[in-house]
């Protein structure tokens, strides 16, 4: 097995696909990746090379789970939605095949300094890294609660896992096919009150993260979010995946999601300066969305940009 | 600092094969230990890749373009994948020349990397000022003059689209840096690239870098929306490699063997490197391939020697410009 890299940080390695399974409309892959598994922490991601005609770039996926025991020396899990040539190829890959995987990349979620109750909010397949985080938080003695939302049941990843892990697990779907009919933001304040959570972790569409962060800020609850942005390299060199972040003294600067994030304290993100500033989210049919070419940008006369945002944003980036 | 690499990857450097290249042209020697360099804008500060492998293995690091003032760049999305390539519009996001010279250059030099600056600006005066500031560093071994960033507010700012404006910028930079090896980075978005190359060399450039990205665009068929926020964006990757080979061949034919050329455009493999060298490149830069595999440049450095050895060559330079004449060779 070829492994390239240093003794710390990310490595590039050839990984065998150990298992592939369905989660509703998503696919879960388990990859034999001992070096990545040993170095990984929740919130980090991997960049997976795909072999599909005409593709060039890797596809980024949150690490959805890590196992260090078992028959292979260490595995990682990823969850993907097949919606373009790259993810289509990954969704049909057979166990036993090999993938070139780079990781773990990015900054992980910070862990609470003392034992607290936590609320983990996941939207669509943004729930994937929250299950991994939940396991680590529980192992650290923290109380774990989940609030998982999606457009429909088909986009709720493996609901048994959060139910089993959590003190409390709530679900929302926009079509009402599972749990509360609506969005995670409908239940967030109530769930914070009922669980007594002192910290919120969230991953999902950026519009959801902006809304979750705003509610947490109003209620004075610290919130860590894992954001998504189109990225080419995943290691900090291409400068494509930037997001406006507030620094000290009120300055706002473009920071790279891949290497400065993807996890940020929600109050640092200047959503109003980003293309995710549209206050009226609209739902988009995921079936029409490609896996590397999805954007919705409307240029405005002053040269600034806004995006129509969708409630569930299926794309390769988490 | 991270520990040295302990794991496998690429072949060992080959003894007895001379990979060194001299980019000094008529301005004295500028010898790099190997011809593999980074393409400007594809390597950030150097620290990011050095977290994975030792950047001193490169022939040189060509840094991301710096401007007089820091720039935040363009809105996102800045990138979309296209068939065998990608479009990008970053908008020269950079920390400004002062920060780069004070913070990044000393770090790269301390790591043992040879540093080639890339400078950009909106006016001739901008270029002159940035060049002066870069000239205060004793660690910068050469300067690439970015005359061809496509992601600027209007085409008039792509200086390399016209021989006269390209030459004007190069004259100003040459006046500010009388002894520095200078490379003018050219755009393929011209009818004839050779006269632009001739003009910049006559204006004082040591050599040329070719090619920058070519201007492209992608529109979502369903929504009618552009896929990169800037609308127009630079196309790079294997899709443009034939354009690079052609442009380098034309420039080498025009400028002759004494003018060094840094070739770039879609290089991923050792065969790609040799193809650009046969076209006329002295050194070869790796750009978009680093995004797909951040180990690409190191792999090329480590495998080029054995490729040459297996074919009975003793140096890379003997292959420069080595193309069989073809029947309708112009």
Residue of A nearest to B291 (CA): A233
Q: Does B242 touch chain A (CB under 8 A)?
A: no
Does A131 score more than 90 pLDDT?
yes
Task: Specify the pTM.
Answer: 0.89
Task: Give percent above pLDDT 90 in chain B.
Answer: 86
Query: Is B149 tagged catalytic?
Result: yes
Does B118 score more than 60 pLDDT?
yes
Does A279 score more than 70 pLDDT?
no
Please give the pLDDT value at position A287. Answer: 37
Q: Does A8 touch chain B (CB under 8 A)?
A: yes
Does A283 score more than 80 pLDDT?
no
Interface of A with B in 60-89 (CB under 8 A): none
* Mean pLDDT, all residues of chain B: 92
Residues of A in contact with B63 (CB under 8 A): none
Of the given ranges (A74-88, A270-284, B33-47, B225-239), which has the lowest mean pLDDT? Answer: A270-284
To test the contact with chain B by mutation, choose from A9, A57, A84, A271 the residue with the greatest count of B C-beta atoms within 10 A, namely A57
Among the options B90, B149, B180, B245, which is catalytic? B149
User: What's the whole-number mean pLDDT along residues A64-77?
Assistant: 88
Does A55 score more than 80 pLDDT?
yes
pLDDT grade, residue B155 (50/70/90)?
A: low
Binary contact (A238, B227; C-beta < 8 A): no
Report how many Cβ contacts below 8 Å link chain A to chain B: 159
Binary contact (A293, B6; C-beta < 8 A): no
Does A249 score more than 90 pLDDT?
no
Interface of B with A in 86-145 (CB under 8 A): 86, 88, 90, 93
Does A310 score more than 90 pLDDT?
no
Residue of A nearest to B298 (CA): A4
* Mean pLDDT, all residues of chain A: 86
Interface of B with A in 21-60 (CB under 8 A): 41-44, 48-49, 51-53
Does A317 score more than 80 pLDDT?
no
Please give the pLDDT value at position B28. Answer: 76
User: What's the whole-number mean pLDDT along residues B89-117?
Assistant: 96
pLDDT grade, residue A202 (50/70/90)?
A: very high
User: What's the whole-number mean pLDDT along residues A273-278?
Assistant: 78
Residue B50 to chain A, least CA–CA distance (Å): 9
Task: Give percent above pLDDT 70 in chain B.
Answer: 93
Does B8 score more than 60 pLDDT?
no
Q: Does A54 touch chain B (CB under 8 A)?
A: yes
DSSP letter for B16, please: T
Across the interface, which of B52, B53, B76 has its CB nearest the CB of A229?
A: B76
User: What's the whole-number mean pLDDT along residues B172-196?
Assistant: 97
**Secondary structure of chain A in HEC code, one letter for each residue:** CCEEECCCCCEEEEEEEEEEEEECCEEEEEEECHHHHHHCCCCCEEEECCCCCCCCCCEEEECCEEECCCCCCCEEEEEEECCCHHHHHHHCCCCCCEEEEEEEECECCCCCCCCCEEEEEEEHHHHHHHHHHHHHHHHCCCEEEEEEEECCHHHCCCCHHHHHHCCEEEEEECCCCCCEECCHHHHHHHHHHHHCCCEEEEECCHHHHHHHHHHHHHHCCCEEEECCCCCCCCCCCCCCCEEEEECHHHCEEEEECCCCCEEEEHHHECHHHCCCCCCCCCCCCHHHCCCCCCCCEEECCCCCEEECCCCCCCCCCC
Residues of A in contact with B44 (CB under 8 A): 236-237, 239
pLDDT grade, residue B14 (50/70/90)?
A: low
Binary contact (A5, B5; C-beta < 8 A): yes
User: What's the whole-number mean pLDDT along residues B228-232?
Assistant: 94
Does B104 score more than 60 pLDDT?
yes
pLDDT tens for B245-277 read 999 999 999 999 999 999 999 999 999 999 999
């Amino acid at each position: 097995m070829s492994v390239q890299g240093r003794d710390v940080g990310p490595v590039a390695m050839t990984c065998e696909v150990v298992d592939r399974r369905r989660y509703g409309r998503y696919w879960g892959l388990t990859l034999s990746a001992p070096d990545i598994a040993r170095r990984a922490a929740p919130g980090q991601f991997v960049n997976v090379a795909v072999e599909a005609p005409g593709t060039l770039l890797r596809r980024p996926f949150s690490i959805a789970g890590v196992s260090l025991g078992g028959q292979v020396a260490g595995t990682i899990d990823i969850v993907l939605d097949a919606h373009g040539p790259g993810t289509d190829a990954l969704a049909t890959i057979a166990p036993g095949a090999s993938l070139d995987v780079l990781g773990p990349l990015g900054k992980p979620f910070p862990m609470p300094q003392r034992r607290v109750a936590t609320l983990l909010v996941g939207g669509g397949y943004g729930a994937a890294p929250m299950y991994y985080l939940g396991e680590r938080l529980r192992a650290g003695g923290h109380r774990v609660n989940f609030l998982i939302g999606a457009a429909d049941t088909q986009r709720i990843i493996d609901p048994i896992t959060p139910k089993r892990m959590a003190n409390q697990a709530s679900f929302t779907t926009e079509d009402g096919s599972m749990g509360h009919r609506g969005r995670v933001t409908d239940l967030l304040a109530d769930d914070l009150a009922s669980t007594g959570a002192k910290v919120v972790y969230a991953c999902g569409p950026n519009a959801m993260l902006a809304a979750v962060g705003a509610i947490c800020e109003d209620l004075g609850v610290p919130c860590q979010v894992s954001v998504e942005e189109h990225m080419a390299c995943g290691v900090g060199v291409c400068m494509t995946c930037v997001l406006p972040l507030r620094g000290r003294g009120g300055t706002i600067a473009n920071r790279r999601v891949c290497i400065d994030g993807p996890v940020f304290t929600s109050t640092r993100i200047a959503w109003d300066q980003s293309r995710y500033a549209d206050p009226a989210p609209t739902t988009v049919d995921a079936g029409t969305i490609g896996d590397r070419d999805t954007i919705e940008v409307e240029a405005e006369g002053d040269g600034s940009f806004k995006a129509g945002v969708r409630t569930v944003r299926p794309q390769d980036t988490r | 600092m991270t520990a040295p690499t302990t794991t496998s990857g690429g072949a060992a450097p080959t003894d007895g094969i001379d990979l060194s290249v001299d980019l000094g042209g008529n301005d004295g020697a500028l010898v790099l230990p190997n011809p593999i360099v980074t393409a400007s804008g594809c390597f950030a500060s150097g620290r990011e890749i050095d977290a994975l492998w030792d950047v001193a293995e490169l022939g040189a690091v060509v840094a991301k373009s710096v401007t007089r003032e820091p720039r935040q760049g363009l809105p996102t999305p800045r990138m979309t994948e296209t068939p065998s390539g990608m479009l990008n519009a970053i908008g020269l996001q950079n920390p400004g020349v002062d920060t780069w010279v004070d913070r990044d250059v000393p770090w790269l030099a301390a790591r043992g990397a040879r540093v080639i600056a890339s400078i950009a600006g909106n006016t001739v005066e901008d270029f002159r000022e940035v060049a002066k500031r870069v000239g205060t560093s004793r660690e910068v071994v050469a300067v690439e003059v970015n005359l061809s960033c496509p992601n600027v507010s209007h085409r008039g700012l792509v200086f390399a689209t016209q021989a006269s404006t390209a030459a004007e910028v190069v004259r100003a930079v040459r006046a500010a840096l009388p002894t520095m090896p200078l490379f003018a980075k050219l755009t393929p978005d011209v009818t004839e690239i050779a006269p632009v190359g001739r003009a910049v060399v006559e204006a004082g450039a040591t050599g040329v870098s070719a090619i920058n990205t070519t201007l492209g665009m992608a529109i979502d068929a369903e929504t009618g929306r552009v896929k990169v926020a800037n609308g127009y964006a630079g196309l790079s990757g294997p899709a443009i490699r034939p354009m690079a080979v052609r442009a380098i061949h034309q420039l080498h034919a025009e400028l002759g063997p004494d003018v060094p050329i840094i070739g770039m455009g879609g290089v991923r493999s050792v065969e790609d490197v040799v193809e650009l060298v046969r076209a006329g490149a002295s050194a070869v830069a790796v750009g978009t391939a680093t995004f797909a595999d951040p180990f690409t440049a190191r792999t090329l450095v480590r495998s080029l020697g054995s490729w040459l050895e297996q074919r009975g060559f003793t140096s890379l330079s003997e292959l420069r410009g080595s193309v069989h004449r073809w029947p309708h060779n112009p």
